[in-house]
Amino acid sequence: MTTLHIDWQPDKTSSVPIYQQITNYFQHAIASGDWPMGAKLPSQRKLAPQFGVNRSTLITALDELIAVGLITSNPGSGMAVSGNHWSSLLAEHVNWSQYVKAGQFKPNSHAIQKINQFETDDVIRLSTGEPAPEQFPRVLFQKAFDHLGQHLTSLNYTEPAGILALREQIARHLQKVGIQTQPENILITSGSLQALQLVSLSLFPKDATIYTEAPTYVKSLQVFQSANTHLAGVPMDNQGMAYWQMTPPTNGSQAIMYTIPTFNNPTGIVMSQARRQQILQYAQEHQMPILEDAAYQDVWFDQQPPQPLKALDETGNVIYFGSISKSLAPGLRIGWTVATKPVIDRLTDVRMQTDYGASSLSQLVLAEILANPEYDTYQANFRAVLAQKATAAQAILHHYWDDGIATFDAPTGGFYLWVRLADRINIKKLFDLATAQNVLFNPGNIYDFKPNQYIRLSFSFESTERFERGIQILTKLIEENFPK
Amino acid sequence: MTTLHIDWQPDKTSSVPIYQQITNYFQHAIASGDWPMGAKLPSQRKLAPQFGVNRSTLITALDELIAVGLITSNPGSGMAVSGNHWSSLLAEHVNWSQYVKAGQFKPNSHAIQKINQFETDDVIRLSTGEPAPEQFPRVLFQKAFDHLGQHLTSLNYTEPAGILALREQIARHLQKVGIQTQPENILITSGSLQALQLVSLSLFPKDATIYTEAPTYVKSLQVFQSANTHLAGVPMDNQGMAYWQMTPPTNGSQAIMYTIPTFNNPTGIVMSQARRQQILQYAQEHQMPILEDAAYQDVWFDQQPPQPLKALDETGNVIYFGSISKSLAPGLRIGWTVATKPVIDRLTDVRMQTDYGASSLSQLVLAEILANPEYDTYQANFRAVLAQKATAAQAILHHYWDDGIATFDAPTGGFYLWVRLADRINIKKLFDLATAQNVLFNPGNIYDFKPNQYIRLSFSFESTERFERGIQILTKLIEENFPK
């Protein structure tokens, strides 16, 4: 295989960065077929002077080309053009990302990709929205497994909307929060994230505007943004979304509201009873459908929160999303959507074309567990432990951070503390320093529509001891890098 | 609530059908807000003369409006404007379906919606691609459940690409068919349908052309069609896809190949060893990435089929999709994608935004089962029973249909007989007559790019006795309705 002859140099007067010009040149040469698969590249030592660039600029470009798979690098044989067309497609895709239209999924934010990758290693995870392993009700699961082991006669596809026995249990479970519904108004999904994905694929008209609390969990996802819609943030006060600050679109595009009224993620704010009524009224007047995300509904500390919007909804205008991920086990990947029949039918139809249903095994096990009277005992205990951990976490923060590092409000449920750091602290830098020391937290920016000075700390997953160790490490980093 | 006053009549000279004019009028009146939520409609008795149309035309229009949820009908109080904005959104969506762009999912075909709905009732299901409940290895599952019940300490989110222990087992399993791969080149998905969905969301450039066997399973899905791509059918001979009949796009759009080389669904054709080599060569020359769907890889009768394309792929050009649905249990909803690292990373990133991973429970149970040495014994037995059922099903068809009703080729693996019915038989009518008698089969049209005279019969799910009863019912329907 001959080595490629290259007579090209970047344009140093251009506004395009040099390394970017180099990657563009390589991509074009490979995509056009000018450089055949397997062709060898000159060494870095030769390439840098040939391009008239310094070595580090060249390496930046080559690293990117290797990362997207356009070229390969072997210690023995040097660099070569990759023989993999998917890689060039991918490179093309990455290159085209600014033009990519709805349905072509955007990549996750860098911070979230980093957190996703880290969350499986041995780190102090103040980032994750998961229940603590210590709270896992092994005996409840063991009983369900035993029953299934004896009675399971097949494990085939389920009813399109999910196993009836589970939808019946969900309907019964929802009565406790005031929602009167029937199994035919319920769709079982693979977590409530899939439900959001289905709604955006199935119901959102092009160019719809989705109004949502600022900050909000969905801002950290690409699910709505990838569906040709616009997310618009609405401020909150301590009663919840300040809906009167919405500016419904005047260009005739459809407006839809997405809200986490109970233990808003990340702020923990609970929408008051009065605000719930007002928002339902407002949405009705403005013909605005509502998506109600109730993922944290069941994880209150001392007092049950106000009823969901869905319980007060007399028009069928609210689509309600519930989940077992926060109150029992995210690994089951089970959520439920409650809506009027035509909406459920449409979502179910798209769902059958997306993944042909949620795990039957997860559905059967969850139906068994929800039917077990001991589930209520488990829930009460789960909430009590969570409330204790929340109290302990707040005491730790007050101890280490009250003196000019941070402020926060006390939550009444959910998994998180939403913590405002002092202005002198550069959160991006703190994030990088902390991950290098195996402490993860979520920067507040990923949830917001504008830069902010917050971080989200989860007290649910780690033990109180490990939470404190994490805060000690963060405190040391802050004192060393951002002194008063 | 007052009753609406309506002074409008359809235009009888228009080319738009009368009932359609009525639904359009209602939709406009409701969407514009002219008709408020909850407003009562005049009775059908009054409306028909007011519109100057006959009662049945009016009912056709009203049924459609009720079906999409724009109006409600109560026996006591008559018809009213629905108070549900999602319904009007949905109606709008259905109305706009011809304009809908990529990412906005198309509805399933009518036949498939009907089959999906039916497949859970007590019918003879010659339609379904599921293993028989009788072949369910309850003891293998029971052992896995027992082990988990004792050792499971939590059920949280998994590694983004899927549980490592499962990916290790999959890598080991794939060695048996000649694929040498590593856990980091494997992504666990919720069945291989989700993998197709992820690939289309993540990797397909806009306006790409997907070349595929005609007929093919994916033609029955909207997954690729909904992603702004064009499916193009390529004929098959008895060696597999006649790739030389492809006409690569001349407009510069990307070309991608999707193939089911082993036990093609629906035809059962196995691509020969020589054709596999030729297709890899062709794709390499034309810079065409390949999607290899190997769902039926493990369900051969007497002789192991040729190695997958992926086993012969030296360039990383092939993305391979495997599944446990056909050889063990579709209800686990577990599939796997094998590809080069940049492709796996991109798919994993989108996957984390789609449903945050497959059921951990399904993954753990499957990892246990694949690690159990008894799994190989189960597989051998599963194949032997399936081969017996295939033989029996063919004998039944020969007995009832050889005399001028149908012809078919003998399959060497998979779940289906691809049966050509005599020209006099109207398959659409036969489908409707059969479903009315609780016998389901899949019309061949849903898999093809042009009308054909085939049906797909599954011998895997039903017992041989019930298969024969189903064929007896079909025979009677054919003799009564389509006599020679």
User: Is B359 an 8 Å CB contact of chain A?
Assistant: yes
8 Å CB contact of B343 and A197? no
Q: How many CB atoms lie within 10 A of CB B206?
A: 17
In degrees, rounded to 5, the angle at the alpha carbon of residue A18 between the alpha carbons of residues A16 and A24 is 75
Confidence category of residue B8, pLDDT binned at 50, 70, 90 = confident
- Measure CB to CB from residue A349 to each of B107, B319, B331 and give the nearest one: B107
8 Å CB contact of A103 and B108? no
8 Å CB contact of A340 and B69? yes
Q: What is the pLDDT of residue B415?
A: 98
Q: What is the pLDDT of residue B129?
A: 94
Most B-contacting residue of A92, A95, A104 (CB-CB within 10 A), to test interface: A104
Please state which of the ranges B70-74, B281-285, B454-458 shows the lowest mean pLDDT.
B70-74
**C-alpha radius of gyration, chain A, whole number:** 26
From A141's Cα to the closest Cα of chain B, the distance in A is 7
SS (H, E, C) A337-389: EECCHHHHHHHHHHHHHHCCCCCHHHHHHHHHHHHCCHHHHHHHHHHHHHHHH
User: Is A82 an 8 Å CB contact of chain B?
Assistant: yes
In 3D, which of A312, A329, A223 has the Cα closest to residue A274? A312
8 Å CB contact of A69 and B133? no
The average confidence (pLDDT) of chain B is: 88
**Six-digit token pair at A417?**
């503390």
Please state which of the ranges A83-92, B19-28, B330-339, B349-358 shows the lowest mean pLDDT.
A83-92
In degrees, rounded to 5, the angle at the alpha carbon of residue A475 between the alpha carbons of residues A470 and A480 is 130
Could you tell me which residues are beta bridge partners of residue B259?
A: B292
8 Å CB contact of A331 and B158? yes
* Distance between CA atoms of residues B469 and B463, nearest Å: 10
Q: Is the dihedral of CA A213, A218, A224, A225 positive or negative?
A: positive
8 Å CB contact of B340 and A86? yes
8 Å CB contact of A116 and B160? yes
Dump pLDDT digits (tens) for A272-321. 999 999 999 998 888 788 999 999 999 999 999 999 999 998 888 899 99
Displacement of CA B101 from its chain's centroid (Å): 21
* Distance between CA atoms of residues B302 and B300, nearest Å: 6
Dump pLDDT digits (tens) for B279-335. 999 988 887 889 999 999 999 999 999 999 999 988 888 999 999 999 999 999 999
Chain A residues whose CB is inside 8 A of the B153 CB are: 133, 136, 138
Q: Which 105-144 residues of chain B touch chain A by CB within 8 A? A: 105, 107-108, 113, 116-117, 119-120, 128, 130-131, 133, 136, 138, 141-142
Q: Is the pLDDT of residue B95 over 70?
A: no
Q: Is the pLDDT of residue B96 over 50?
A: no
* Distance between CA atoms of residues B431 and B51, nearest Å: 37
Q: Which residue of B has its CA nearest to A132?
A: B154
Displacement of CA B359 from its chain's centroid (Å): 21
- Measure CB to CB from residue B141 to each of A141, A152, A283 and give the nearest one: A152
- Measure CB to CB from residue B333 to each of A201, A331, A358 and give the nearest one: A358
8 Å CB contact of B101 and A354? no
Q: What is the pLDDT of residue A119?
A: 53
Q: Are residues B85 and B43 in contact, defined by beta-carbon separation less than 8 angstroms?
A: no
Q: What is the pLDDT of residue A122?
A: 77
Most B-contacting residue of A94, A117, A333 (CB-CB within 10 A), to test interface: A333
**Six-digit token pair at A337?**
């959507």
8 Å CB contact of B142 and A160? no
- Measure CB to CB from residue A155 to each of B83, B136, B194 and give the nearest one: B136
Q: Could you check whether the bond before residue A248 is cis, i.e. omega within 30 degrees of 0?
A: no
* Distance between CA atoms of residues B68 and B88, nearest Å: 8
User: Is B356 an 8 Å CB contact of chain A?
Assistant: yes
Q: Is the pLDDT of residue A352 over 90?
A: no
Chain A residues whose CB is inside 8 A of the B84 CB are: 315-317, 340
Exposed, middle or buried, B11 (CB in 10 Å: 0-12/13-18/19+)? exposed
User: Is B162 an 8 Å CB contact of chain A?
Assistant: no
Q: Which 249-268 residues of chain A touch chain B by CB within 8 A? A: 254
Q: What is the pLDDT of residue A56?
A: 86
The average confidence (pLDDT) of chain A is: 88
**Six-digit token pair at B481?**
């309705």
Complete DSSP assignment for A135-194: G--HHHHHHHHHHHHHH--------TT--HHHHHHHHHHHHTTT----GGGEEEESHHHH
Chain A residues whose CB is inside 8 A of the B204 CB are: 104
Complete DSSP assignment for A85-103: HHHHHHHHHHHTGGG--TT
Q: What is the pLDDT of residue A229?
A: 82
**Cα–Cα distances in Å, from B463 out to B68, B266, B302, B379, B398?**
39, 20, 20, 19, 18
Query: Between A and B, how many CB-CB pairs are < 8 A?
Result: 345
Instruction: For residues B58-73, give the mean pLDDT.
Output: 81
Confidence category of residue A118, pLDDT binned at 50, 70, 90 = low
In 3D, which of A187, A177, A208, A409 has the Cα closest to residue A304? A177
Q: Which 61-80 residues of chain B touch chain A by CB within 8 A? A: 67-69
From A8's Cα to the closest Cα of chain B, the distance in A is 25
Chain A residues whose CB is inside 8 A of the B68 CB are: 342
Displacement of CA A230 from its chain's centroid (Å): 17
Confidence category of residue B87, pLDDT binned at 50, 70, 90 = low
Q: Are residues B71 and B65 in contact, defined by beta-carbon separation less than 8 angstroms?
A: yes
Q: Is the pLDDT of residue A94 over 60?
A: no
Q: How many CB atoms lie within 10 A of CB A316?
A: 22
Buried b (16+ CB within 10 A) or exposed e, A330-349: bbbbbbbbbbbebbbbbbbb
State the DSSP code for A204.
P
Q: Is B322 helix (H, G, I), strand (E, B) or coil?
A: strand
Please state which of the ranges A25-39, A224-238, A333-347 shows the lowest mean pLDDT.
A25-39
Could you tell me which residues are beta bridge partners of residue B258?
A: B212, B291
Please state which of the ranges A28-42, A138-152, A239-253, B134-148 shows the lowest mean pLDDT.
A28-42
Q: Is the pLDDT of residue B445 over 60?
A: yes
Displacement of CA A89 from its chain's centroid (Å): 26
Residue, of A52 and B145, whose pLDDT is higher? B145
Please state which of the ranges A433-437, B95-99, B192-196, B373-377 shows the lowest mean pLDDT.
B95-99
Which amino acid, residue B354? T
* Distance between CA atoms of residues B320 and B324, nearest Å: 14
- Measure CB to CB from residue B89 to each of A88, A159, A254 and give the nearest one: A254
Q: Which residue of A has its CA nearest to B221?
A: A353
The residue behind tokens 């609970």 is A270
In 3D, which of B270, B390, B179, B84 has the Cα closest to residue A318? B84
State the DSSP code for B331.
G
8 Å CB contact of A103 and B226? yes
Q: What is the pLDDT of residue B343?
A: 87
Q: Is the pLDDT of residue A468 over 70?
A: yes
From A294's Cα to the closest Cα of chain B, the distance in A is 17
8 Å CB contact of B357 and A155? no
In degrees, rounded to 5, the angle at the alpha carbon of residue A155 between the alpha carbons of residues A150 and A157 is 150
Residues near A351 by beta carbon (within 8 Å), at least 6 away in sequence: A160, A187, A189, A194, A198, A357
Instruction: For residues B144-157, give the mean pLDDT.
Output: 94
From B69's Cα to the closest Cα of chain A, the distance in A is 6
The residue behind tokens 């190989």 is B376
Chain B residues whose CB is inside 8 A of the A142 CB are: 149-150
- Measure CB to CB from residue A105 to each of B142, B202, B287 and give the nearest one: B202
User: Is B163 an 8 Å CB contact of chain A?
Assistant: no
The residue behind tokens 């009065």 is A274
Chain A residues whose CB is inside 8 A of the B92 CB are: 205
Dump pLDDT digits (tens) for A36-79. 777 888 888 888 888 989 888 898 888 888 876 778 887 777 88
From B432's Cα to the closest Cα of chain A, the distance in A is 21
From A210's Cα to the closest Cα of chain B, the distance in A is 14
* Distance between CA atoms of residues B15 and B23, nearest Å: 15
User: Is B155 an 8 Å CB contact of chain A?
Assistant: yes
Q: What is the pLDDT of residue A97?
A: 29
Dump pLDDT digits (tens) for B334-372. 999 999 888 898 899 888 888 889 999 999 999 999 999
Residues near A63 by beta carbon (within 8 Å), at least 6 away in sequence: none
Residue, of B283 and B228, whose pLDDT is higher? B283
Domains of chain B as residue ranges with CATH = 16-88 (1.10.10.10), 136-372 (3.40.640.10), 375-479 (3.90.1150.10)
Please state which of the ranges A197-211, A242-256, B79-93, B422-436 shows the lowest mean pLDDT.
B79-93
Q: Is the pLDDT of residue B410 over 90?
A: yes
Q: Which residue of A has its CA nearest to B227?
A: A103
Q: Is A254 helix (H, G, I), strand (E, B) or coil?
A: coil
Q: Are residues A124 and A470 in contact, defined by beta-carbon separation less than 8 angstroms?
A: yes
> Percent of chain B having pLDDT more than 70?
90
Q: What is the pLDDT of residue A154?
A: 93
User: Is A28 an 8 Å CB contact of chain B?
Assistant: no
* Distance between CA atoms of residues B103 and B99, nearest Å: 12
From A253's Cα to the closest Cα of chain B, the distance in A is 11
Q: Is the pLDDT of residue B101 over 60?
A: no
The residue behind tokens 């048996």 is B176
Q: What is the pLDDT of residue B340?
A: 86
Q: Is B388 helix (H, G, I), strand (E, B) or coil?
A: helix
Q: Is the pLDDT of residue A155 over 70?
A: yes
User: Is B343 an 8 Å CB contact of chain A?
Assistant: yes
Q: What is the pLDDT of residue A99?
A: 24
8 Å CB contact of B288 and A85? yes
**C-alpha radius of gyration, chain B, whole number:** 26
Q: What is the pLDDT of residue B226?
A: 66
Residues near B468 by beta carbon (within 8 Å), at least 6 away in sequence: B396
Q: What is the pLDDT of residue B117?
A: 64
What are phi and psi for residue B213, nearest 5 degrees?
-55, 145
Kindly compute the dihedral angle of the four CA atoms of residues B145, B150, B155, B161, in this order, to the nearest 10 degrees: -70
Buried b (16+ CB within 10 A) or exposed e, A259-270: bbbbbbbbbbbb
Q: Is the pLDDT of residue A149 over 70?
A: yes
Could you tell me which residues are beta bridge partners of residue B461?
A: none
Q: Is the pLDDT of residue A340 over 80?
A: yes
**B480 sits in which H/E element:** helix B464-481
Displacement of CA B279 from its chain's centroid (Å): 25
- What ipTM was reported for this prediction? 0.83
Buried b (16+ CB within 10 A) or exposed e, A201-230: bbbbbbebbbbbbbbbbbbbbbbbbbbbbe
SS (H, E, C) B255-294: EEEEECCCCCCCCCCCCCHHHHHHHHHHHHHCCCCEEEEC
Confidence category of residue B118, pLDDT binned at 50, 70, 90 = low
